[in-house]
Amino acid sequence: MEDLSFSHKAHERAVGTKNIAIIGVVASGNLEVLAERILPDTECLVEIKTAAEGFGDVWDAVVADFVERTSPGGLKFSINDGGARPDTVSLRLAQAVRLMEDNDQ
């Protein structure tokens, strides 16, 4: 297992009022993303525990691209990864942000 952490400045606060969301499952080629609205509005933190070691550069690029595209300010993402491909990671992160846009609690 490898632990990775990426901290970014976000342009804008993530839309919505939901405080927590979870998407995905931990399985081969899949991952779960837990999103929590617990950071200051301009910050974004992505913490990863992955079964596939040695892919730090790829994670760095995927996370930077995600923050640039969606500006998830105020959100902390915690990921348990079972060796998902970068496109699956991007999809799950986008799904997590979409779930946080809901206003119901």
Under the criterion CB under 8 A, does residue 50 sit at the interface with another protein? yes
x-or-dash string of contact with another protein, 55-74, rule CB under 8 A? --------------------
Under the criterion CB under 8 A, does residue 30 sit at the interface with another protein? yes
Under the criterion CB under 8 A, does residue 49 sit at the interface with another protein? yes
Residues 40 and 103 sit within 8 Å (Cβ to Cβ): no
Site for another protein in 5-24 (CB under 8 A): 20, 22
